[in-house]
Structure 1
Amino acid sequence: MSSGGPHGLPNVEAIKPPDLTLTGTLDREATHRLCEEARATLQASDADVLVCDVADLGPPVLAAVDALARLQLTARRAGGRIRLRNPAPHLRELLHLVGLPIEVEMGRQAEQREPPGRVQEAVEARDPPL
């Protein structure tokens, strides 16, 4: 079967979920605007997940939780859901405390990596085997 396109893995951009960046403090007007944008983005794409980058979101207060709950509801009404990228630890704790079930996607940076367990970098002749 020939499709006329390149063979192999599908284009990564074609399967990457759309994203939305949330910054600053979210008030009612900003939340309404974000919900409209989320609805339009999900309806315009074939994706069922909208990734919300919250790394630059203001302080984790109940207004932020309210905004995220409204975004989740909007996404569900559009046939999808949201996933948070890089939420601050305090925001994750607040979401857990209020019982708001939102997926979280954590980005790790190279300097945050830990070496695999039980790996010995240098061996001395006198060291017993592990």
Structure 2
Amino acid sequence: MDEVLFVVEGPVRRAEVPALCDRLAAVVRARGARVVTVDATAMGGPGADALQALARLRLTARRLGVELRFVGLDRGLVGLLGWLGLGQVVGEAEEGEEPGGVEEGVDARDPPV
């Protein structure tokens, strides 16, 4: 299976983050996933525990070579990530950059750099 849904039960506490990452790794390995959609609806609002969980899940996915997508994230948490310059953790574009997977268009009439 190429894509799986990974539901985060929450709210997540710091002590639970390693087990959460282990569960993600087990799901990816068992199902052969290449893309994991994380349902973070119950993860919780902006705070250190949720930030750590998101960052560690992203790191775990990167180590496993899978793409991670998030749905259901608290708006305050997404805003906090952007404010901290960590919006790319959840796929938000940084200021002046295109969102992930979007290439800037090139106009053939533009002079070369």
Instruction: Give TM-score scaled by structure 1 length.
Output: 0.60
1:32 shift after superposition: 0.9
* Cα distance per residue 1:18-77 (max 9 Å; x no partner): 122123232233111110011111122332221111112222212101111000000110
Give the root-mean-square deviation of aligned CA atoms.
1.8
The share of aligned pairs that are identical, in percent, is 32
Pick the aligned partner of 1:68 from 25, 48, 54: 54
C-alpha separation in 1, matches of 2:11 and 2:66: 25
C-alpha separation in 2, matches of 1:78 and 1:92: 24
Q: 1:98 to 1:76 in 2, by over 3 A?
A: same
Higher-Rg member (1/2) = 1
Which aligned segments of 4 or more residues in structure 1 are displaced greater than 3 angstroms?
none
Gaps of 5+ in 2: 93-113
> Quick check: 1:23–1:58 contact (8 Å CA) kept in 2?
no
Gaps of 5+ in 1: 1-13, 105-130
Instruction: Give TM-score scaled by structure 2 length.
Output: 0.68
How many residue pairs end up in the alignment?
Answer: 90
Of structures 1 and 2, the one with the larger relative CO (CA 8 A, separation 6+) is 2
